[in-house]
């Protein structure tokens, strides 16, 4: 059984005319790392809300089709139940902080206390998350006094401690410096390799090309493509859907470097190999 | 005269560690990117330029006027700051009211304020959302509202704290166009950024902040040509620069277009 099964999902926000997502059908397997890309307004954040049950339990409006996580229908389950299985990290980390805790460590304990997790287990999970996100040095700081990038990593950690089977991240690295971004992507890949299913919305297309198993490209509430990064970024007419492919792909397209199937390099190492061959060829 | 002079600037919060440790900088009208690790002191620095914080020691002169000797309200007519989090800035219930607040606040006459507000909203592509409540719009649109609010004040100096957060390629191109236009008009844009590709494609000058000091200050190409120094500041060069580096090229590339053009030219030369 697939981890996530979405069938003909449609949703329209209250008091609006257009469908924010319009007939999505797809499946995601356990342990996959999925990148969701597309221009603003494409339906990315709405899909995140539908996967975590915020649509339709919190955001009302018109809902059609279905979302199943581990065989459980999200619409027919209680939000409190879904939130044990699915974790979401919001786009703006400020909205994720409880505002009620004075240290990062207490902030990370908040969700676990709510679930009644035993103290020793709670401490172990907090230490693991602090180490994985490399924020151990922030443990005694006030969450609301952190920089945007630091807060973003605390927001991710506060969800990781809950050990969700499915982790949904909405632009989790938008406020991080380049090395912080790389650290978060490495941590996410590690979690994915350990079996966690991860779905992340990202505009950082080069990182998505490097790390995602598959890429879902949305536009106007519909799936334009859902395939490997190589297949998606090698498509023609991406710009018509508001997407600039990774710089490595753009360079190779400009140089006419593609394989026999018409596919272009999408990552740094692929581009280095192929441009080297190009330079050495007649 | 420089638009901004920063002289031996030191800053720390009361009973806090020193965040800025002796900064000397002069700014003309060249668009300038500030890059550096999270916590390097970048946001603190732009808040000092805006006059929201005052130096513990040293001076900041805006158009020759010391920020210690002028109120934030008066300084607002000369220097605008777009905050990192639009929630720190937006408080009106319509997009139009939000954007016109700044011009009203610095005493721009009503007709002129209305005109510059409408112009700013067109520049950020929100002219069809003037009556919407900012909090009904997306995070990326709220960032654009914050930018329009500052543009509408027509300040000589515009400070942007991570303007590309949550922006898609369209939003980034729009902001790039604005930076180039302001620079062309002789106005100074200083922007904090984490998107090195955007810095490379957009800004004339780049400063690197590290641990409260400016460790690099040069034209953008020269900064990114020093890969090891950039990495020592916990940064990464732009992706296309990395590609050139890995291929052993001596030229520092800032855009894919330049990389392709040079590669094709070299190949032709090789064939001949």
The CATH number of whichever domain residue A97 belongs to comes to: 3.40.50.300
* Residue recorded with tokens 């020592």: B232
Q: Residue B174 above 90 pLDDT?
A: yes
Q: What percent of chain B has pLDDT over 70?
A: 100
- B254 found inside a domain: yes
Q: Residue A282 above 70 pLDDT?
A: no
Q: Residue A106: its pLDDT value, please?
A: 94
Domain that holds residue B260: 237-267
- A74 found inside a domain: no
Complex ipTM: 0.90
- B256 found inside a domain: yes
pLDDT single digits (tens) A78-94: 988 898 899 999 877 88
Q: Residue A101: its pLDDT value, please?
A: 87
* A225 shares its domain with A254: no
Please report, for chain A, how many H helices and E strands are present, in that order.
Answer: 11, 10
pLDDT single digits (tens) A200-244: 999 999 999 999 999 999 999 999 999 999 999 999 989 999 999
Q: What percent of chain A has pLDDT over 70?
A: 100
* A251 shares its domain with A230: no
Interface of B with A in 38-57 (CB under 8 A): 38-39, 43
Mean pLDDT, to the nearest integer, of B84-106?
A: 88
Residue B111 dihedral angles phi and psi, to the nearest 5°: -60, -45
Mean pLDDT, to the nearest integer, of B148-152?
A: 95
CB contact under 8 A, A275 and B85: no
* A225 shares its domain with A138: yes
Of B84, B171, B257, the CB nearest to A148: B84
Please report which confidence band the pLDDT of residue B88 belongs to, taking 50, 70 and 90 as the band edges.
confident
* A181 shares its domain with A276: no
pLDDT single digits (tens) A152-166: 889 999 999 998 999
Cis peptide leading into residue A140 (ω within 30°) = no
Please report, for chain B, how many H helices and E strands are present, in that order.
Answer: 11, 10
* A45 shares its domain with A179: yes
- A263 found inside a domain: yes
Nearest to A211 by CA among A160, A172, A253, A260: A172
Quick one: tokens of B215? Answer: 């460790």
* A273 shares its domain with A171: no
* A118 shares its domain with A185: yes
* A250 shares its domain with A230: no
Domain that holds residue A53: 31-58+79-234
Q: Residue A176: its pLDDT value, please?
A: 83
Report the domain count for chain A: 2
- A281 found inside a domain: yes
pLDDT single digits (tens) A10-41: 999 998 889 999 999 999 999 999 999 999 88
Mean pLDDT, to the nearest integer, of B148-175?
A: 94
* A39 shares its domain with A96: yes
* A197 shares its domain with A265: no
Looking at every residue in chain A, the average pLDDT score rounds to: 92
| Dist. CA B66–CA B75, nearest whole Å | 10
- B257 found inside a domain: yes
End-to-end CA distance of chain A: 51
Report the domain count for chain B: 1
DSSP-derived pairing of the beta strands A86-89 and A72-73: unpaired
- A220 found inside a domain: yes
Best residue of B17, B19, B38 to probe chain A, by most A CBs closer than 10 Å = B38
* A160 shares its domain with A273: no
- B252 found inside a domain: yes
* Alpha carbon of A144: minimum distance to chain B alpha carbons (Å): 13
- A169 found inside a domain: yes
């Amino acid at each position: 059984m697939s981890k996530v099964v979405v069938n003909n999902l449609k949703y329209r926000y209250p008091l609006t005319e257009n469908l924010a997502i319009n007939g999505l059908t797809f499946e995601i397997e356990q342990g996959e790392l999925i990148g969701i890309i597309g221009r603003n307004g494409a339906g990315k954040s709405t899909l995140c809300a539908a996967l975590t049950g915020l649509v339709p339990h919190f955001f009302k409006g018109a809902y059609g089709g279905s979302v199943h996580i581990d065989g459980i229908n999200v619409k027919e389950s209680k939000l409190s139940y879904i939130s044990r299985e699915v974790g979401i990290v919001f786009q703006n980390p400020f909205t994720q902080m409880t505002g009620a805790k004075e240290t990062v460590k207490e902030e990370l304990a908040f969700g676990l206390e709510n679930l009644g997790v035993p103290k020793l287990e709670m401490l172990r999970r907090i230490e693991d998350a602090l180490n994985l996100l490399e924020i151990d040095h922030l443990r005694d700081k006030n969450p609301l006094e952190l920089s945007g990038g630091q807060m973003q990593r605390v927001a991710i950690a506060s969800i990781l401690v809950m050990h969700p089977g499915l982790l949904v991240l909405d632009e989790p690295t938008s406020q991080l410096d380049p090395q912080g971004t790389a650290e978060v992507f490495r941590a996410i890949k590690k979690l994915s390799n350990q079996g966690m299913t991860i779905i992340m919305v990202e505009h950082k297309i080069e990182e998505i090309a490097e790390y995602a198993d598959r890429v879902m490209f949305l536009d106007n509430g519909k799936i334009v493509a859902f395939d490997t990064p190589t297949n998606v970024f090698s498509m023609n007419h991406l710009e018509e859907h508001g997407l600039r492919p990774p710089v490595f792909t753009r360079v190779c397209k400009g140089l006419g470097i593609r394989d026999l199937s018409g596919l272009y390099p999408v990552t740094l190492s692929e581009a280095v190999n192929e441009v080297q061959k190009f330079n050495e060829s007649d | 005269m420089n638009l901004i002079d920063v002289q031996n600037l030191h800053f720390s919060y009361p009973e806090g560690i020193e965040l800025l440790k002796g900064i000397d900088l002069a700014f003309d009208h060249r668009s300038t990117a500030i890059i550096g690790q999270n916590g390097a002191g970048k946001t603190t620095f732009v808040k000092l330029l805006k006059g929201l914080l005052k130096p513990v020691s040293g001076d900041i002169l805006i158009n020759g006027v010391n920020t210690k000797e002028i109120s934030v309200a008066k300084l607002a007519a000369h220097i605008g700051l777009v905050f990192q989090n639009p929630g720190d800035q937006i408080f009106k219930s319509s997009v139009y009211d939000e954007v016109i607040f700044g011009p009203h606040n610095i005493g721009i006459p009503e007709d002129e304020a209305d005109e510059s507000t409408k112009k700013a909203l067109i520049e950020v592509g929100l002219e069809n959302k003037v009556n919407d409540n900012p909090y009904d719009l997306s995070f990326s649109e709220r960032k654009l509202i914050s930018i329009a609010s500052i543009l509408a004040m027509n300040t000589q100096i515009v400070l942007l704290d991570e303007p590309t957060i949550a922006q898609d390629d369209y939003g980034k191109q729009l902001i790039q166009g604005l930076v180039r236009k302001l620079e062309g008009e002789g106005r100074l844009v200083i922007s904090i950024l984490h998107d090195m590709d955007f810095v490379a494609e957009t800004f004339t000058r780049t400063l690197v902040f590290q641990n409260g000091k400016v460790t690099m200050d040069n034209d953008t190409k020269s900064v990114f040509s020093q890969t090891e120094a950039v990495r020592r500041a916990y940064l990464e060069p732009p992706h296309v620069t990395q590609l050139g580096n890995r291929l052993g090229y001596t030229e520092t590339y800032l855009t894919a277009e330049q990389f392709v053009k040079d590669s094709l030219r070299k190949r032709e030369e090789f064939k001949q």
